[in-house]
């Protein structure tokens, strides 16, 4: 089967928008297009294809290949149609004997310096040079192939995912432009002049060593096999493609899974993806190998004790063992002695089913999700102030922002495709304010320098926001009309009085935040007066003892300056996992049904009781930290944990593992035997995003389809497993397909009333709320009024955290992510992404390093009040003195052994971002690491014993 249908039609140059329409004549036909459109695109719009090589519709035209020449009546010469804009009344000819000659001549020159290995070339059948040579009718090359050429140029195979073969390069510059315009990294350049010119990665000897972040935009743009995926070289061209959604981060990029039979050949970013418009990052684009990694667990297993070897059993046996254990525990310890954790990596439909199983079949509300440890303060804070707990805008909205505050987020690493959109806007002149203890990459890149970097001390976000608000209120920068019309004046007046107090001034807060009052004043003025002001924030805002207060302070700031309710403004949480927004929407919190309705609300409870045929609890259930506490108290004994690795991701690891060890039945459903599964009694094989149908909801509230491209390796998709477990527990659920689950969600959830698979297929994606009032969804929220009616200002008093530095722990540790690894690393550690980051490192400032005699690469012991671990040091000026930073992607580094169980006052979101620590040079692992290794080896043996027994049985 040809894979032509995999390609989207390339119209040559980007779409232009204009209210002025221009009519011209092309090949005798009239065509009307927006002003600014190229002749090439106008021709393409009417179905006339003009040969091209250097043009593509995702990039600005460059006009270098001279393949797209046309004739224009009354004009001399043969202008390039890609760089010539339309004009009223033009008469254009795209075909003539002279044009055909010219095009053939140009093509002849290209081909004379190109390897003639089309039949064995990996791009055969999917190469624009090959196609264009055919289109222009080139049959022979008059110059022969003996002259000066690049055919013996050396390949660059350094990048693990794509190769660069300069012999095939036609120097069309598409890759260079893609890296600049689409990705915003500027990692490529054209080296040399004239015939000697070749593409070269900047800042290194090869791609891997360069500034390249492996986003794949250049590979996507390359019209030849010069830049090509190694998977295509290995497997061959795809036969068919299926549109789906990335399973990594909350940007929610649309992808085409390109397949040969059931084998994935490559993932290409979809031009139809409404969050990413054809762009991607290294994770979604290339790091999909984990899905078929040999570590995948595909057989259900059980064991009585965690010191017993695993036993492979049938699905029925595993499910009935799990069900009988849960019922035994409930009979002995009470109905509330078990609970479950939903997965933010699974689909909406799967998450909905897990919370339904817990509420309806377990009979309690003991359900929670990983948002507890990331964005639960967003839910609380935005609901209190604006009335809806989700972000207010689309990602594209940032293209209309004049000033952007990025607070406690590192988008180039955590949300790379959004970062590329933001960088594009910054290159157009928007201003940037970064509020972060670290010198993140956005501060200093090719779009210029951030106007203000406010490098505050970890734990002082609220002090910083109050100081910014103080300036706005006391310098007359409040958007009075907006506030009077849209906000609750009683709350506003109280807030105004509060932030105006001298103790909240930048000068008073200087000593707390560590940031100069002058910079804070200037940044506040910029945000309030530059036009559209947008705020994007991440876990550096939420994962604090005052996480919820910080979110409310952000909302206060946006309301006071009128920066809410239209494009280009807003309050935008950058959500972590692919479906963390969805898992919250689907009722994963112990106090809320789907659609954020409290379990104590009688009408809502009755709605679900009628639909599910059970009586439901009216009291909120246990949050994850309460589950651990109850486990240690002996009252919580059973857990169903789907697609979540709490033993690695949650703070104070030793506390978590002690709680897990005290339970009698832990059922883990996952694609790998993760850290939590080492404490499990039942293992149910999970399915990757490639193996099931469903939907994910990204940080923009955008619901997108996930489509099955291969059968589940374990035989069941996750939603089927939950249904089977419910049945084993004596509670029947009937769904033939995830679309039926979505129909039920839509029926029972007002903000989803209008959502269906048919509509998602038709529109591409839908941003909730989608209902009678907004049949096609809601890209921007709070337009005419806030969801709660009047916007409510909340007093945000700064309360220093209890976690203090001391003589014993003089440094502050904050944690975060890196581009190439993801969360607990279960997926990315099983890919070639390790080429960039193969261990967690402790970043510290040279001054702190010198004081302790530490040099880059040394092993350092890290001790906090919670525990000790050892990792390698990375000495860098990104850090300020006194503050250190690490990631938590590798279980053996034990970053969460050090973090404490301090948490947000409102939501229990852990205070990951502030831990007092001391570093010391060491030469052996910590005690915890020794115990961890021993336990992991033991567990590996118990897994191996399972294999041996099967072999014997067989």
List residues near ligand FES by CB under 6 A. Answer: 52-55, 63-68, 80, 82
Q: Taking the CA atoms of 658, 659, 664 and 668 in sequence, report the sign of the dihedral they define.
A: negative
Determine, following the binding rule CB under 6 A, whether residue 172 of this chain makes contact with ligand SF4. Answer: yes
Alpha helices in 23-150 (DSSP H): 39-45, 97-112, 128-135
Distance between CA 689 and CA 686 in Å, rounded? Answer: 10
Q: Considering the complex, what minimum distance in angstroms separates the CB of residue 135 from ligand SF4?
A: 17
Phi, psi for 438 (deg, rounded to 5): -100, 160
Distance between CA 189 and CA 210 in Å, rounded? Answer: 11
37's tokens: 């459109």
Q: Considering the complex, what minimum distance in angstroms separates the CB of residue 66 from ligand FES?
A: 5
Q: Considering the complex, what minimum distance in angstroms separates the CB of residue 825 from ligand SF4?
A: 14
Contact of residue 323 among ligand SF4, ligand FES, none (CB under 5-8 Å per partner type): none
809's CB contacts (< 8 A; 6+ apart) are 863, 864, 865, 916, 917, 918
Contact of residue 313 among ligand SF4, ligand FES, none (CB under 5-8 Å per partner type): none
Kindly indicate which of the ranges 96-104, 274-282, 844-852, 883-891 contains the residues binding ligand SF4, using the contact rule CB under 6 A. 274-282
Q: Considering the complex, what minimum distance in angstroms separates the CB of residue 231 from ligand SF4?
A: 15
Contact of residue 228 among ligand SF4, ligand FES, none (CB under 5-8 Å per partner type): none
The DSSP letter of residue 769 is P
Distance between CA 714 and CA 4 in Å, rounded? Answer: 33
Q: Which is nearer to ligand FES, 67 or 267 (CB)?
A: 67
Contact of residue 55 among ligand FES, ligand SF4, none (CB under 5-8 Å per partner type): ligand FES
Q: Considering the complex, what minimum distance in angstroms separates the CB of residue 54 from ligand SF4?
A: 7
Contact of residue 241 among ligand SF4, ligand FES, none (CB under 5-8 Å per partner type): none
Strand order in the sheet with 452-454: 452-454, 431-435, 403-407, 533-537, 571-573
Q: Which is nearer to ligand SF4, 274 or 532 (CB)?
A: 274
Q: Considering the complex, what minimum distance in angstroms separates the CB of residue 53 from ligand SF4?
A: 8
Q: Which is nearer to ligand FES, 81 or 801 (CB)?
A: 81
Kindly indicate which of the ranges 94-102, 206-214, 353-361, 370-378 contains the residues binding ligand SF4, using the contact rule CB under 6 A. 206-214
Contact of residue 746 among ligand SF4, ligand FES, none (CB under 5-8 Å per partner type): none
Determine, following the binding rule CB under 6 A, whether residue 631 of this chain makes contact with ligand SF4. Answer: no
Nearest to 353 by CA among 827, 731, 671, 622: 731
Alpha helices in 807-861 (DSSP H): 846-851
The structure tokens 């209008």 sit at: 754
Q: Which is nearer to ligand SF4, 374 or 386 (CB)?
A: 374
Q: Which is nearer to ligand FES, 79 or 715 (CB)?
A: 79
Q: Which is nearer to ligand SF4, 183 or 330 (CB)?
A: 183
Q: Which is nearer to ligand FES, 55 or 883 (CB)?
A: 55
Burial class (CB in 10 A: 0-12, 13-18, 19+), 891: buried
Near ligand SF4 in 857-896, by CB under 6 A: none
Kindly indicate which of the ranges 277-285, 546-554, 637-645, 748-756 contains the residues binding ligand SF4, using the contact rule CB under 6 A. 277-285
x/- letters, 227..256, toward ligand SF4 (CB under 6 A): x------------------x-xx-xxx---
Near ligand SF4 in 280-299, by CB under 6 A: 280-281, 283-284
220's tokens: 């996507």
Distance between CA 862 and CA 898 in Å, rounded? Answer: 8
Q: Considering the complex, what minimum distance in angstroms separates the CB of residue 133 from ligand SF4?
A: 14
Kindly indicate which of the ranges 208-216, 384-392, 680-688, 858-866 contains the residues binding ligand SF4, using the contact rule CB under 6 A. 208-216
The one among 86, 188, 467, 909 contacting ligand SF4 by CB under 6 A: 188
Q: Which is nearer to ligand FES, 83 or 834 (CB)?
A: 83
The structure tokens 């639960």 sit at: 376
Pairing of strands 21-26, 91-93: parallel
Kindly indicate which of the ranges 172-180, 523-531, 741-749, 906-914 contains the residues binding ligand SF4, using the contact rule CB under 6 A. 172-180
C-alpha 443, offset from chain centre: 20
Kindly indicate which of the ranges 163-171, 355-363, 531-539, 797-805 contains the residues binding ligand SF4, using the contact rule CB under 6 A. 163-171
Nearest to 79 by CA among 40, 43, 107, 48: 40
Element (H, E) at 254: strand 254-260
Kindly indicate which of the ranges 177-185, 387-395, 903-911, 937-945 contains the residues binding ligand SF4, using the contact rule CB under 6 A. 177-185
Burial code (b: 16+ CB inside 10 Å, e: under 16) for 848-880 equals bbeebebeeebbbbbbbebbbbbbebbbbebbb
Q: Considering the complex, what minimum distance in angstroms separates the CB of residue 129 from ligand SF4?
A: 8
Determine, following the binding rule CB under 6 A, whether residue 382 of this chain makes contact with ligand SF4. Answer: no
Q: Considering the complex, what minimum distance in angstroms separates the CB of residue 163 from ligand FES?
A: 24
Q: Answer yes or no: are the C-beta atoms of 909 and 543 closer than 8 Å.
A: yes
Size of the site for ligand SF4 (CB under 6 A): 40
The DSSP letter of residue 727 is H
Q: Which is nearer to ligand SF4, 366 or 833 (CB)?
A: 833
Determine, following the binding rule CB under 6 A, whether residue 215 of this chain makes contact with ligand SF4. Answer: yes
Nearest to 787 by CA among 479, 472, 571, 554: 571
751's tokens: 């903000």
Contact of residue 373 among ligand SF4, ligand FES, none (CB under 5-8 Å per partner type): none
Q: Answer yes or no: are the C-beta atoms of 545 and 803 closer than 8 Å.
A: yes
Q: Answer yes or no: are the C-beta atoms of 601 and 619 closer than 8 Å.
A: no
The one among 13, 126, 224, 801 contacting ligand SF4 by CB under 6 A: 224
The one among 24, 217, 571, 884 contacting ligand SF4 by CB under 6 A: 217
As a three-state string, the secondary structure of 194-229 is HHHCEEEECCCCCCCCCCCCCCCHHHHHCCCCCEEE
Q: Considering the complex, what minimum distance in angstroms separates the CB of residue 24 from ligand FES?
A: 18
- Residues found in the chain: 954
Q: Which is nearer to ligand SF4, 84 or 244 (CB)?
A: 244
Q: Which is nearer to ligand FES, 64 or 393 (CB)?
A: 64
Residue with the CB atom nearest ligand SF4 in the bound state: 284
Q: Considering the complex, what minimum distance in angstroms separates the CB of residue 535 from ligand SF4?
A: 20
Determine, following the binding rule CB under 6 A, whether residue 185 of this chain makes contact with ligand SF4. Answer: yes
Burial code (b: 16+ CB inside 10 Å, e: under 16) for 679-701 equals bbbbbbbbbbbbbbbbbbbbbbb
Distance between CA 350 and CA 614 in Å, rounded? Answer: 20
Report the DSSP beta bridge partners of residue 258. Answer: 241, 266
Inter-CA distances, 275 with 583, 761, 778, 799, Å: 19, 15, 14, 37
Q: Considering the complex, what minimum distance in angstroms separates the CB of residue 123 from ligand FES?
A: 19
The one among 99, 170, 467, 721 contacting ligand SF4 by CB under 6 A: 170
Report the DSSP beta bridge partners of residue 241. Answer: 258
Q: Considering the complex, what minimum distance in angstroms separates the CB of residue 277 from ligand SF4?
A: 11
732's CB contacts (< 8 A; 6+ apart) are 726
Q: Answer yes or no: are the C-beta atoms of 202 and 189 closer than 8 Å.
A: yes
Q: Considering the complex, what minimum distance in angstroms separates the CB of residue 183 from ligand FES?
A: 21
Q: Which is nearer to ligand FES, 54 or 811 (CB)?
A: 54
525: left (phi over 0), alpha (psi -120 to 50) or beta: alpha
187's tokens: 């990692």
Binding site for ligand SF4 (CB under 6 A): 169-175, 178-179, 183, 185, 187-188, 199, 212-218, 221-224, 226-227, 246, 248-249, 251-253, 276, 280-281, 283-284, 416-417
């Amino acid at each position: 089967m040809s894979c032509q249908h995999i390609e989207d039609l390339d119209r040559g140059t980007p779409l232009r928008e204009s209210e002025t329409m221009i009519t011209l004549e092309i090949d005798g036909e009239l065509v009307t297009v927006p002003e600014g459109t190229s002749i090439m695109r106008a021709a393409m719009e009417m179905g006339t294809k003009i040969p091209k090589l250097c043009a593509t519709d995702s990039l600005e035209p460059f006009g270098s290949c001279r393949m797209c020449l046309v004739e224009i009546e009354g004009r001399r010469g043969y202008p390039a149609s890609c760089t010539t804009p339309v004009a009223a009344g033009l008469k254009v000819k795209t075909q003539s004997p002279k044009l055909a000659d010219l095009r053939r001549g140009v093509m002849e020159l290209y081909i004379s310096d190109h390897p003639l290995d089309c039949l064995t070339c990996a791009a055969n059948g999917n190469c624009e040079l090959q196609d264009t040579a055919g289109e222009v009718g080139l049959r022979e090359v008059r110059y022969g192939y003996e002259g000066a050429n690049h055919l013996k140029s050396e390949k660059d195979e350094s990048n693990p995912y794509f190769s660069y073969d300069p012999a095939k390069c036609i120097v069309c510059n598409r890759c260079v432009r893609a890296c600049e315009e689409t990705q915003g990294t500027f990692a490529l350049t054209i080296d040399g002049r004239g015939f000697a010119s070749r593409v070269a990665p900047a800042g290194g000897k090869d791609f891997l060593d360069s500034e390249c972040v492996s986003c794949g935009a250049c590979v996507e743009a390359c019209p030849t096999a010069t830049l090509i995926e190694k998977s295509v070289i290995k497997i061959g061209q795809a036969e068919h493609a299926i549109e789906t959604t990335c399973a990594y981060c909350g940007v929610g990029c649309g992808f085409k899974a390109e397949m040969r039979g059931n084998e994935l050949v490559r993932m290409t970013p979809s031009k139809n993806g409404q969050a990413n418009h054809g762009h991607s990052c290294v994770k979604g684009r290339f790091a999909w190998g984990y899905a078929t990694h040999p570590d995948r667990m595909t057989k259900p297993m059980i064991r009585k004790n965690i010191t017993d070897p695993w036993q492979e059993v049938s699905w029925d046996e595993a499910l009935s063992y799990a069900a009988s254990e849960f019922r035994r525990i409930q009979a002995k310890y009470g109905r509330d002695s078990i609970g479950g954790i939903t997965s933010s990596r699974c689909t909406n439909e799967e998450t909905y089913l897990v919370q339904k199983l817990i509420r309806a079949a377990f009979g309690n509300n003991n359900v929670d999700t990983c948002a507890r440890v990331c964005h639960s303060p967003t839910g609380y804070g935005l609901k209190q102030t604006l009335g809806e707990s989700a972000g207010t805008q689309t990602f594209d909205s940032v293209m209309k922002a004049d000033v952007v505050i990025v607070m406690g987020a590192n988008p180039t690493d955590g949300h790379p495709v959004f970062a590329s959109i933001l960088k594009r806007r910054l290159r157009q002149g928007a201003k940037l304010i970064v509020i972060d203890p670290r010198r993140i990459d956005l501060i200093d890149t090719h779009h210029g320098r951030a106007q203000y970097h406010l490098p505050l001390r970890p734990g002082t976000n609220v002090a910083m926001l109050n100081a910014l608000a103080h300036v706005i209120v006391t310098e007359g920068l409040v958007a009075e009309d907006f506030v009077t019309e849209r906000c609750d004046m009683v709350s506003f007046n109280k807030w105004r009085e509060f932030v105006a107090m001298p103790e909240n001034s930048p000068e008073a807060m200087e000593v707390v935040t560590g940031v100069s009052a002058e910079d804070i004043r200037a940044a506040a003025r910029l945000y309030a007066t530059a036009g559209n002001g947008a705020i994007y924030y991440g876990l550096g805002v939420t994962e604090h003892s005052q996480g919820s207060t910080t979110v409310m302070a952000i909302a206060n700031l946006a309301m006071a300056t009128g920066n809410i309710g239209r494009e280009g403004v807003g309050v935008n949480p950058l959500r972590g996992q692919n479906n963390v927004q969805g898992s919250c929407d689907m009722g994963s919190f112990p106090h809320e049904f789907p659609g954020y309705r409290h379990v104590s609300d009688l009408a809502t409870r009755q709605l679900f009781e009628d639909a599910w045929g059970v009586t439901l609890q009216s009291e909120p259930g246990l949050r994850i930290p309460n589950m651990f506490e109850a486990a240690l108290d002996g009252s919580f004994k059973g857990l169903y944990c789907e697609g979540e690795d709490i033993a690695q991701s949650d703070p104070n690891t030793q506390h978590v593992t002690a709680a897990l060890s005290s339970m009698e039945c832990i059922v883990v459903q996952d694609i790998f035997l993760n850290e939590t599964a080492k404490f499990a009694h039942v293992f149910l094989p999970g399915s990757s995003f490639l193996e099931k149908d469903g939907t994910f909801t990204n940080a923009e509230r955008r619901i997108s389809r996930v489509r099955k491209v291969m059968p589940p390796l374990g035989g069941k998709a996750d939603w089927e497993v939950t249904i089977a477990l419910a049945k084993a527990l004596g509670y029947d659920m009937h769904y033939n397909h995830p679309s039926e689950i979505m129909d039920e969600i839509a029926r029972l959830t007002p903000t989803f009333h209008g959502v269906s698979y048919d509509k998602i297929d038709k529109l591409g994606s839908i941003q909730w709320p989608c209902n009678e009032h907004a049949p096609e969804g809601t890209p921007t929220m709070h337009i005419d009024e806030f969801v709660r009616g009047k916007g409510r200002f909340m007093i945000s008093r700064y309360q220093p955290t209890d976690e203090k530095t001391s003589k014993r722990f003089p440094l502050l540790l904050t944690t975060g992510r890196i581009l190439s690894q993801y969360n607990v690393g279960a997926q990315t550690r099983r890919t070639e992404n390790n080429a960039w980051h193969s261990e967690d490192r402790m970043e510290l400032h040279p001054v702190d390093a010198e004081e302790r005699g530490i040099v880059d690469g040394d092993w350092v012991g890290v001790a906090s009040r919670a525990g000790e671990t050892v990792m390698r040091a990375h000495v860098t000026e990104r850090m300020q003195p006194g503050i250190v930073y690490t990631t938590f992607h590798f279980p053996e580094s034990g970053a969460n052994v050090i973090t404490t169980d301090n948490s947000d006052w409102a939501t229990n979101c852990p205070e990951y971002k502030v831990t007092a620590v001391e570093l010391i040079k060491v030469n052996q692992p910590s005690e915890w690491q020794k115990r961890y290794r021993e336990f992991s080896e033991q567990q590996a043996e118990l897994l191996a014993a399972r294999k041996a027994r099967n072999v014997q049985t067989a």
